[in-house]
Amino acid sequence: MNKKSFNSYEKRSASSLFTAISMVKNSALIVLFSVLASIIYFSFQNSINNALKPRPKAIVSKTYNSDSNALDPNRVEKGIHVETGMVYDTNFELVRRSCTSCHSSKLVIQNRATREGWKQMIDWMQETQGLQDFGKYEVKILDYLEKNYAPTDEGRRQNLHVDDEDWYVIKLN
């Protein structure tokens, strides 16, 4: 186990008591909500069904549970958290939870910015997109983003790159 993942592992154990308490709380909540839900549902069945008419569907390949080929949500390969594509480093869980409750992790990992640049993006989301104030966690979130998603000097134009496995023989008639 390398240093990075060990740090994160320690963090997870430390929060296990907190997790257990919240599970009990959640179970009680589930029962309560299920009863309420049934009452509401049977009273307003039609209007609810109407309200739930589909938005465009997205088809998803990787799933959290149920089927046998489900991907382990905690799988990390070569320092990358597989499900999100994010770098698995200190504060990963915090950043993941803070960012992906509103948008895809894809939006995080395709961007590069300085600490100031990331701060500006968070400010913009808070001012215009209804993002919560992160309070004391903002520093940790910025630490992670600054370290793992910093800009590199790409010059005025990058080399073309084709992965070894992507070269193909052109079929001509």
Partner 1 sequence: MKSKTSNKVANSLDRRRFLKNTTLSSMALVLGTDIVFGLNLPKGMNILGLEGNVVSLPGKDGRLTILNDRPVNAETPPYLLDDKITPGEMFFVRNNGLPPIEVDVDNWTLTIGGESAKKEIVFTLAELKSKFKQYTYQLTLECGGNGRKEFNPPAKGNQWGLGAVGCAEWTGVRLKDVLEAAGMKSDAIYIGYYGADTHLSGDPDKEPISRGVPIHKAMEKESMIAWAMNGEDIPMLNGHPLRLVFGGWPASCSGKWLNKIVIRNKVHDGVKMTGQAYRIPCDAVEPGEKVADEDMCIIESMPVKSLITFPKTGGVISLSEQLPIRGHAWAGDQIVSKVEYSIDFGATWKSCEMANPVNRHAWQQFNAIISFPKVGYYEVWAKATDDQGISQPMILPGWNPKGYLNNACHRIAIKVNQ
Binding mask 42-71 for partner 1 (x = CB under 8 A): ------x--xxxxxxxxxxxxxxxxx--x-
Find the shortest distance in angstroms from Cβ 157 to partner 1. Answer: 5
Give the residue, chosen from 8, 112, 119, 146, that forms a contact with partner 1 under the rule CB under 8 A.
112
Q: Which CB atom, from 40 or from 79, has the smaller least distance to partner 1?
A: 40
> What is the strand order of the sheet 80-81 is part of?
76-77, 80-81, 86-87
CA distance 96 to 91: 9
CA pair distance 80, 103, nearest whole angstrom? 19
Shorter beta-carbon distance to partner 1: residue 5 or 93? 93
Q: CA 3, 9, 13, 18: dihedral to nearest 10 degrees?
A: 120
Residue 113 binding partner 1, by CB under 8 A: yes
Residue number with CB closer to partner 1 (1 or 51): 51
**Interface residues for partner 1 in 89-108 (CB under 8 A)?**
93-94, 96-98, 100-107
Nearer to partner 1, 22 or 79 (CB): 22
Q: 116 to 145, contacts with partner 1 by CB under 8 A?
A: 117, 120-121, 129-130, 132-135, 137
Question: 95 CB contacts (<8 Å, ≥6 apart)?
Answer: 86, 108, 140, 141, 144, 145
Amino acid at position 65, single letter: N
Q: Which residues touch 46 (CB under 8 Å, ≥6 apart)? A: none
